Amino acid sequence: MEKQDGINLIGKVTSDDNLWRAYKRVYANKGAPGVDGITVNELESHMLKYYEPLKQKLKDGTYQPQPVKRVAIPKADGSKRFLGIPSVLDRVVQQAILQVIDPIIDPQFSENSFGFRKGRNQHQAIERAKEYYQEGYKVVVDCDLKSYFDTIHHQRIRAYLEYFIKDKIVLKLVWSFLRSGILDKDIYIETTEGAPQGGPLSPILANVYLNMLDRELERRGHRFVRFADDFVIYVKSRRAGERVMESITEFVEKDLGLTINQKKSKVSGATTATFLGFNIQNLMGK
């Protein structure tokens, strides 16, 4: 692990170039306003008005994000997925942090992790799965994490982040986003766990947390593919698959504090399993 001694990360976060690059990204992404009602079109003037105090609060770690605005997105099965929309200024700050920490953290992630990463995509994840199948690993352990983003353990994510990031002020700012709370209509909900989907930092935090899973799977010598919270392990027999399902469920629930959805998780032949919406059997002719 390369140390960051002598590297002032918060200085990089608060540099004019980095902050305005973050503004441009947030503006380009558009998106709905957060709890304060300020739109992306009003963002530039809002930033200019509070720019120096903003920089100072970021430098000393006293910046306090607003609660995220909860929005329900209907899913195909009739249930709802909740997004947390940060205010536009909070999105700029998150993006500014992301631009500095991503180049440090991402290169240390597993080669078998494909979701929410630059230069990596679903197609590559499927290709990796095909390679395992062609090598004779024709049984799939398909593990579904129950409400993953809502159940990320805050103390653990903080400890995992400290492995990658040494700057205490940057860590404090990330922590403040995790603890900023949710506003559901007019009801404030304290956040003691989870990382609401919707902000620029959520994807990398999700990968930092599940990096512990990746490393454990590698340590055990498993062939696996992970795309965000969706992961599959390829083995050679159903019996091996049952054993792996049992041991990985124990690790995920005991060591990571997450829950395996028993209804959606299964061991099956690779040709009948679907991963990221694709079926191996349909892909083998391509």
The per-residue pLDDT for 189 is 83
pTM above 0.75, yes or no: yes
CB 99 within 8 A of CB 214: no
Residue among 275, 233, 236, 270 nearest 124 (CA): 275
Helices (H), 197-257: 202-219, 238-254
CB 194 within 8 A of CB 183: no
Mean pLDDT, rounded, for 226-236:
94
* More confident position, 20 or 84: 20
Tokens of residue 160, six digits: 């995992």
Question: How many Cα atoms within 13 Å fall on the side-chain side of residue 53?
Answer: 7
Q: How confident is the model at residue 281 (pLDDT cuts 50, 70, 90)?
A: low
The per-residue pLDDT for 7 is 57
> In angstroms, rounded to a whole number, what is the distance separating the alpha carbons of residues 204 and 101?
9
Q: Label the pairing between strands 274-275 and 80-85.
A: unpaired
Residue among 95, 104, 106 nearest 173 (CA): 95
